[in-house]
Amino acid sequence: MIRSLFDIQRLWPALLGMALWLGALATAHASTLLVMGDSLSDAYRLPKESGWVALLGDALAPEVEVINASISGETSAGGLTRLPSLLKVHEPDVVIIVLGGNDGLRALHPDQLSEHLSTMIELAQASGAQVGLMQIQLPPNLGPAYIERFESVYPALAERHDVALLPFFLVDFFDQPGMLMDDGIHPTAQAQPKMFDSVYPHIQALVATPNS
């Protein structure tokens, strides 16, 4: 017994070193996913852990670390300004862009939206990340002509840059009772799991695709 204890003590530094090496190796191979969004992804007026991005993090852990860089009120211009430093700090393998709603509510010209989002996609791709761009849909009160031009920006960009176009995560149930807050824009806690379910297969496919 004494000799066995002595042997364990003698081997302990080597065993500890191996454990640390294996832990570092696992961390090195973990992927990072960055979500760039606005209040729809920032769990507006809700506990952060109930938001769809937090649910995504739970579903992808521990293989993928999810970074939620969403800010309520964010525009495509603001996202473009913040993205370079976020790419540098987090070195994400996947970037999900969920921006444009606030641009539409402020009647930003669709060409400006396209320019901002296009540059964001190019920056993320240049860093080696896979990119998912979510289709954004606007309230009908903004007028059919503007909405058509605005919403057509997303499939055009997805085709031009060869990136995945994710479906708008509220489209199938936003008109159901209890899905939106009193403002008619922001999703409730009950809507968050449905939002997660609508995009999870698409994001899972991106995570599984090797970076080029």
Helix 110-126, helix 144-151: angle, nearest 10: 20
d(CA 20, CA 28): 12
Tell me the catalytic residues.
39, 183, 186
Query: What Rg value do the Cα atoms of the chain yield, rounded?
Result: 21
> Token pair for residue 85?
């430093």
- Write the DSSP symbol of residue 168: P
Residues 31, 32, 37: CA angle, nearest 5 degrees: 150
Three-class DSSP category at 18: helix
Q: Which helix (H) or strand (E) holds 129?
A: none
Q: Which of 84, 72, 91 is nearest to 31 (CA)?
A: 91
Alpha carbon 3 to its chain's center: 55
